[in-house]
Structure 1
Amino acid sequence: MRDDTPRSGGERLLLVSTNYAPEQAGIGPYATQIAEHFAAERGAEVHVLAGMPHYPAWRVDPAYRGKWRVRDERAGVLVHRRRHSVPARQTAARRALYEASILAHGLLAPPRISRPDAVLAQVPSLAGGVLAGRLARRYGVPYVPVVQDLMGAAAEQSGISGGGRAASAASAVERRMLRGATLVGIIHETFRARVRALGVPEDRIRLVPNWSHVSGPSVPREKTRARLGWPPGQTVLLHSGNMGLKQGLEVLVETARHAPELRVVLMGEGSQRARLAELAAGVPNIEFLPPADTEDFPDVLAAADALVVTQRAAVLDMSVPSKLTSYFAAGRPVIASVAAGGGTAQEIQRSDAGRLVPPEDPAALATAARELAADPAAADAIGARGAGYARDHLSREAGLARVTALLDEALALAGRPVRKGRDA
Structure 2
Amino acid sequence: MAVQPVRRLLLVSTNYAPEQAGIGPYATQIAEHWASDAATEAHVLAGLPHYPAWRVDPAYRGVWRTVEDRAGVRVHRRRHTVPARQTAVRRALYEASILAHGLVAPPRTGGPVQAVLAQLPSLAGGLLGARLARRHGAPFVPVVQDLMGAAAAQSGIRGGDRAAAVAAAVERRVLRAATLTGVIHESFVDRVAAMGVPRERIRLVPNWSHVPAPSRPRAQTRRRLGWDDGRTVVLHSGNMGLKQGLDVLVDTARRDPGLRIVLMGDGNQHARLRALAAGLPNVDFLPPAADADFPDTLAAADVLAVTQRASVLDMSVPSKLTSYFATGRPVLASVADAGGTAEEVRRSGAGRLVPPEDPKAFAAAVRELAADPDAADALGAHGPGYVASRLSRAAGLARITDLLDEAVAAHAAGPPRGAAGPATGVEGTGGSTPGHPAVRSPGRAAGPGVPEKGASA
Which band: TM-score by shorter chain?
over 0.9
- Note the C-alpha offset of 1:351: 1.1
More moved, 398-407 vs 226-235: 226-235
| SS of 2:219 mapped into structure 1 | helix
What runs of 5+ residues in structure 2 fail to find an aligned partner?
414-457
More moved, 223-232 vs 174-183: 223-232
- Note the C-alpha offset of 1:41: 3.5
- Note the C-alpha offset of 1:318: 4.0
| SS of 1:95 mapped into structure 2 | helix
Which aligned pairs between 1:161-310 and structure 2 lie closer than 5 A? 161-231=158-228, 233-310=230-307
Out of 32, 39, 44, the residue aligned to residue 43 of structure 1 is 39
Q: Kindly indicate whether residue 392 of structure 2 is the aligned counterpart of residue 382 of structure 1.
A: no
Q: Counterpart of 2:344?
A: 347
Q: Counterpart of 1:421?
A: none
Q: Counterpart of 1:3?
A: none
Code of the residue aligned with 2:247 in structure 1: it is E
Code of the residue aligned with 2:140 in structure 1: it is Y
Q: Aligned partners of 2:113, 2:120: CA distance in 1, in Å?
A: 20
Which aligned pairs between 1:119-198 and structure 2 lie closer than 5 A? 119-198=116-195
| SS of 1:241 mapped into structure 2 | strand
> How well do the aligned residues superpose, as a CA RMSD in angstroms?
1.1
Q: Aligned partners of 2:328, 2:339: CA distance in 1, in Å?
A: 22
Which aligned pairs between 1:386-405 and structure 2 lie closer than 5 A? 386-405=383-402
Task: Provide Cα deviations, 1:97-130, integer angstroms capped at 9, x if missing partner.
Answer: 0000000000000011211001110000000000
TM-score scaled by length of structure 2: 0.88
Question: Percent identity at matched positions?
Answer: 73
Q: Counterpart of 2:416?
A: none
Task: Provide Cα deviations, 1:45-93, integer angstroms capped at 9, x if missing partner.
Answer: 0000000000000000001011110111001000000000000000000
Q: Aligned partners of 1:118, 1:261: CA distance in 2, in Å?
A: 54
Q: Aligned partners of 2:357, 2:218: CA distance in 1, in Å?
A: 29
Q: Counterpart of 1:369?
A: 366
Q: Aligned partners of 1:156, 1:123: CA distance in 2, in Å?
A: 17
Task: Provide Cα deviations, 1:338-382, integer angstroms capped at 9, x if missing partner.
Answer: 001111100111111111000000011101100010000000001
Q: Aligned partners of 1:240, 1:269: CA distance in 2, in Å?
A: 9
Q: Aligned partners of 2:265, 2:215: CA distance in 1, in Å?
A: 21
| SS of 2:131 mapped into structure 1 | helix
Query: Is contact 2:4–2:39 with CA below 8 Å preserved after alignment?
Result: no
What runs of 5+ residues in structure 1 fail to find an aligned partner?
1-6, 417-424
Task: Provide Cα deviations, 1:276-332, integer angstroms capped at 9, x if missing partner.
Answer: 000000011000000000110000000000000001112214422110000000110
Aligned length, in residue pairs: 410
- Note the C-alpha offset of 1:233: 2.0
Q: Aligned partners of 1:12, 1:296: CA distance in 2, in Å?
A: 35
Q: Counterpart of 1:85?
A: 81
Q: Counterpart of 2:6?
A: 10
Query: Is contact 2:49–2:56 with CA below 8 Å preserved after alignment?
Result: yes
Q: Aligned partners of 1:34, 1:283: CA distance in 2, in Å?
A: 42
Query: Is contact 2:151–2:315 with CA below 8 Å preserved after alignment?
Result: no
Q: Aligned partners of 2:356, 2:72: CA distance in 1, in Å?
A: 43
Q: Kindly indicate whether residue 112 of structure 2 is the aligned counterpart of residue 108 of structure 1.
A: no
Runs of 4+ in 1 over 6 A off after TM superposition: none
Code of the residue aligned with 1:297 in structure 2: it is F
Q: Aligned partners of 1:367, 1:42: CA distance in 2, in Å?
A: 54
Distance 1:172 1:77, change over 3 A: same
Task: Provide Cα deviations, 1:155-208, integer angstroms capped at 9, x if missing partner.
Answer: 011222211111000000000000000000000000000000111001100000
Task: Provide Cα deviations, 1:11-66, integer angstroms capped at 9, x if missing partner.
Answer: 00010000000000000000000000011036310000000000000000001011
Q: Aligned partners of 2:270, 2:39: CA distance in 1, in Å?
A: 42
Q: Aligned partners of 1:42, 1:197: CA distance in 2, in Å?
A: 40
- Note the C-alpha offset of 1:139: 1.2
Q: Counterpart of 2:447?
A: none
Code of the residue aligned with 2:230 in structure 1: it is G
Q: Aligned partners of 2:411, 2:329: CA distance in 1, in Å?
A: 45
| SS of 1:203 mapped into structure 2 | helix
Q: Aligned partners of 1:316, 1:197: CA distance in 2, in Å?
A: 16
Q: Aligned partners of 2:345, 2:39: CA distance in 1, in Å?
A: 37
| SS of 2:138 mapped into structure 1 | coil
Q: Counterpart of 2:450?
A: none
| SS of 1:263 mapped into structure 2 | strand
| SS of 1:251 mapped into structure 2 | helix
Q: Aligned partners of 1:318, 1:169: CA distance in 2, in Å?
A: 15
TM-score scaled by length of structure 1: 0.95
Q: Aligned partners of 1:42, 1:393: CA distance in 2, in Å?
A: 28
| SS of 2:337 mapped into structure 1 | coil
Code of the residue aligned with 1:260 in structure 2: it is P
